[in-house]
Amino acid sequence: MAGILETPYGTRDFLPKEAAAKRAIENRIAKLFAEFGYEEVVTPTMEFLETLTISGGVESNLFKMFDQQNRTLALHHEMTTPIARLAMSRLKDSPLPLKLSYNTSVFRFRKNQLGRQCEFYQSGVELLGASNAFADAEIIALATNALKVAGLKDFTICLGQVEFANGLMENLSAADKAEIKNAIEHHDIVGLEKIVDALNLDKNSADTLKKIPKLNGGIEILETARVLANNDKSRSAINNLEEIYKLAEIYGVADRIIFDLGIIRDFEYYTGMVFEAYAPNVGYSLAGGGRYDNMLADFGLACPATGFAVGIERILTACEKQGIFNDARAKDIYLSYSESKIDAAIKKALALREEGKIVELSLTAQNKIDAEKSKIEKGYSELIYIE
Amino acid sequence: MIDEYITIALPKGKLFGLSAELLKKVGWTAEGLHEKSRKLVITNDAAKLKFIITKTADVPTYVEYGAADIGIIGKDVIMESGKDIYELLDLGFGKCHLMMAVPKDKKRARLEDYAHTRVATKFPRLAKNFFVSRGMQMEYIKLNGSIELGPIVGLSESIVDIVETGTTLRENNLEEIVHIADSTARLIANRVSYRLKFERINNLVTELEKIL
């Protein structure tokens, strides 16, 4: 019987305080998304395995099961793919750009996930059908504001562009590219130098490739990168970042942005700007996203797209580290009463709730001393006692 | 952002002395920084540095979670840990290699002849990666030290371990039959620290590159 009080590996409970903090953050972020004109959608928790793996979902990281026809199902591991499926099927005829948002738990069967369990919560948006820098700037403005409304004071958005590195590697074979990308993504600078040296490139190209993970800093780093850019692809990546940055300035979020041209992110499908959000003393990213123009073609129709997701548990951790507590569920009034005063008590409670107060009404009559005790135990700020 | 501290994780054991010495050469040190320090965190307030000294295998963990911003640790430990950390610089010292060894007098003709036998190792993950890549299934016996003892007392048919000079192997009548991977000490960093404290970390890398 040991199992009945346990929860499965990779899952957790949210106790009232934790659930309140989670709900508070999710509500504020949902409100923000709505204000920007993003409409919420809900998709099934499980999809067919093929749907989730078509754009790079790794089968071994998915929770799988069978339906009654023995077809393999999997729990969604992120929301970009289900939304792409939705957009390409039931929302196919909607006017573009399509702005959608979500808030749900996702599932990844992986040990060693920093700051979260196998089941964790994400809020995010997808912006489909717009390929300009303005769309990317809106996504970054939205991500920045999402972290702000969540209560975080100290955080940084780290912005990159995968086409910069892709451009610099244009003449390399697919296998070499993949190896270099992997080294850049993990900032394995030692490994990167070995791989590049083995390619026998001219010194200039080799040095440039080695520098990619070190292109890190403020807006001035784009000038350094522009000097290294040796073809249209890599140059337009830098122009794109500059354009996004200018728009971010108007949005008032540019002061949060630093650049790192070595950000590629884990997923294969990013095709343009990519970003991650960091807070000091939290060793992993709080939010991340980017442009993924090729993915929707996997579902039948080429369509540019960009978006991001924030990790709710990770934001909660970062808030805690910064001394910001979102669990301030106002416990206003504990309402108790003496024998035979139940009518008056119910009416009083209704009236107070009408005023917007949070009121817990005792379910049994109490004497005043017990009522005072209950109020303290339950953490209410005020006792109203009807006698 | 000089107002922020940088926390450096150093491993106990062989690499500690060399690491502390190297960092000292570029001015990254603290009073009382020695392996036997009873203090858990050794701070240099003037230079905004904090040092922590941990068990070897724990260095990547401290860095991955950002509890330490940077660390020094052998490539063998990095690979075995499978942690997502940034590897900034090959420091050159702590040179060793991971290999498979067997008792000289019981040596079999081919590597494949050891399939389905027992292998004692401190590096089960790396050992498994290696044997899987050769299409071999093995029985892995995780030991935490004195790996050479395994074949001597009949606990295993072979070992996968780190070797520097090979003296221990010879003393125990073991012979290296496969070279698996090379290792040296590396400077590693947390992915967030690398970006948020880029200037200081990158300066350190540049300074170290000059003297290596």
Task: Flag whether pLDDT at B1 surpasses 50.
Answer: no
The nearest CA of chain B is from the CA of A278 a distance in Å of 6
Question: For testing the chain B interface, which of A152, A281, A285 should be mutated: the one with the most B CBs within 10 Å?
Answer: A281
Question: pLDDT (tens digit, 9 = 90+) per residue, A91-101?
Answer: 888 899 999 99
- The answer to the question of residue B1 being in a domain is no
**Does the distance separating the beta carbons of B65 and A280 come in below 8 Å?**
no
CA–chain centroid gap for B101, Å, is 20
Q: Do B82 and A260 touch (CB under 8 A)?
A: no
ipTM of the prediction: 0.85
User: Which string of DSSP letters, residue by residue, matches A265-279?
Assistant: -S-TT--SEEEEEE-
Name the minimum distance, in Å, from the CA of B130 to any CA of chain A.
19
A260 touches chain B (CB under 8 A): yes
Q: How many domains does chain B have?
A: 2
Domain containing B16: what range? 6-94+184-211
Parallel, antiparallel, or unpaired: how do β-strands B158-163 and B118-121 relate?
parallel
pLDDT at A289 exceeding the cut of 60:
yes
Structure tokens at A194: 């070995």
What values do phi and psi take at A2, rounded to 5? -60, -30
What residue type is assigned to position B182 of the chain? D
How do residues B81-96 score in pLDDT, each as one tens digit? Answer: 999 899 999 999 999 9
| A186 at interface of B, judged by CB pairs closer than 8 A | yes
The answer to whether position B126 is within a domain reads yes
Cβ(A75)–Cβ(A63) below 8 Å: yes
Same domain, B31 and B86: yes
CATH number of A9-153+279-329: 3.30.930.10
Kindly report the CATH number that applies to the domain delimited by A156-274: 3.30.930.10
Given a contact cutoff of 8 angstroms between Cβ atoms, the answer to whether A85 and A299 are in contact is: yes
Note whether A114 contacts B64, CB cutoff 8 Å. yes
Query: What pLDDT is attached to residue A131?
Result: 95
**Residue of B59, B88, B196, B212 to mutate for A, most A C-beta atoms under 10 A:** B196
Instruction: Please tell me if residue A322 touches chain B, with a CB cutoff of 8 Å.
Output: no
Average pLDDT, chain A: 93
Instruction: Tell me which residue of B143, B144, B148, B142 sits closest to B128, measured CA to CA.
Output: B142
Tokens of B73: 């640790």
Q: Which residue has the tokens 């009083």?
A: A348
A chain contacts of residue B86, beta-carbon cutoff 8 Å:
186-189, 213
Are residues B20 and B67 both part of a single domain?
yes
> Which pTM does this prediction carry?
0.89
Secondary structure (3-state) at B40: coil
Task: Say whether B86 and A186 touch across the interface (CB within 8 A).
Answer: yes
B66: chain A residues, CB-CB within 8 Å? 281-284
Pairwise CA distance, residues A128 & A48, whole Å: 22
User: Side by side, which strands form the sheet with B139-142?
Assistant: B139-142, B118-121, B158-163, B96-103, B174-183
**B86 and B101 co-located in one domain:** no
Q: Cβ of A187 and B192 within 8 Å?
A: no
Q: What is the CATH number of the domain that holds B163?
A: 3.40.190.10
Residue type for position B179: H
Q: Containing H/E element for A321? A: helix A312-321
Mean pLDDT of chain B: 94
Q: Is A25 a residue whose pLDDT tops 50?
A: yes
How far apart, in whole angstroms, are the C-alpha atoms of residue A153 and residue A147? 8
Instruction: Tell me which chain B residues have a C-beta less than 8 angstroms from the C-beta of A186.
Output: 84, 86-87
- Residue A51 corresponds to which tokens in the numbers above? 């749907």
CATH code 3.30.930.10 region(s) in chain A: 9-153+279-329, 156-274
Residue A50 buriedness (CB in 10 A; 0-12 / 13-18 / 19+): exposed
Same domain? B203 vs B103: no
Of B64, B82, B195, the CB nearest to A258: B195
pLDDT range class, residue B103, cuts 50, 70, 90 = very high
A1 has pLDDT over 60 = no
> Residue A328: its pLDDT value, please?
63
Give CA–CA dist A63/A119, Å, rounded: 10
Res B72: pLDDT: 98
Report residue A329's pLDDT band, with 50, 70 and 90 as the boundaries. low
Query: Residue A304 and residue A24: Cα distance in Å, rounded?
Result: 33
Q: How far apart are CA A187 and CA A213, in angstroms?
A: 6
Distant-in-sequence, close-in-space partners of A332: CB < 8 Å, separation ≥ 6: A352, A357, A358, A359, A380, A381, A382
For the beta carbon of residue B61, count every other beta carbon within 10 angstroms.
18
The DSSP 8-state label assigned to residue A188 in this structure reads B
Rg over alpha carbons for chain B, rounded to the nearest Å, is: 19
pLDDT tens digits along A181-221: 999 988 899 999 999 999 989 999 999 999 999 999 999 99
Lowest mean pLDDT among A114-118, A231-235, A285-289: A114-118
Strand arrangement of the beta sheet that strand A382-386 belongs to: A359-361, A333-337, A382-386
* Per-residue tokens: A200: 């026998």
Name chain A contacts of B199, Cβ cutoff 8 Å. 217
- Shortest Cα–Cα distance, A246 to chain B (Å): 22
> Within a domain: residue B124?
yes
Q: Residue B87 is nearest to which of A156, A191, A217, comparing CB atoms? A: A191
B60 and B22 both lie in a single domain: yes
Identify whether residues B145 and B77 lie together within a single domain.
no
B139-142 vs B118-121, strand pairing mode: parallel
pLDDT at A235: 96
pLDDT at res. A231: 92
Residues B81, B117: one domain? no
Determine the Cα–Cα distance for residues A15 and A23; give it in Å rounded to an integer: 12
Query: CATH classification of A333-386, choosing from 3.40.50, 2.60.120, 3.30.70, 1.10.20?
Result: 3.40.50
Question: What is the rounded average pLDDT of the residues B138-163?
Answer: 95
3-class SS of residue A307: strand
Beta strands in A77-166 (DSSP E): 98-107, 119-128, 156-161
Indicate if B147 and B100 belong to the same structural domain: yes
What pLDDT, in 10s, does the model give residues A138-189?
A: 999 999 999 999 999 999 999 999 999 999 999 999 999 999 999 998 889 9
Got the DSSP string for A29-78?
Answer: HHHHHHHTTPEE----SEEEHHHHHTTT--GGGS-EEE-TT--EEEE-S-
Q: Which chain A residue has the Cα nearest residue B203?
A: A214
Q: Quick one: B89 and B10 in the same domain?
A: yes
Residue whose C-alpha is closest to residue A151's, from A4, A286, A299: A286
The percentage of residues in chain A with a pLDDT greater than 90, rounded to a whole number, is 80
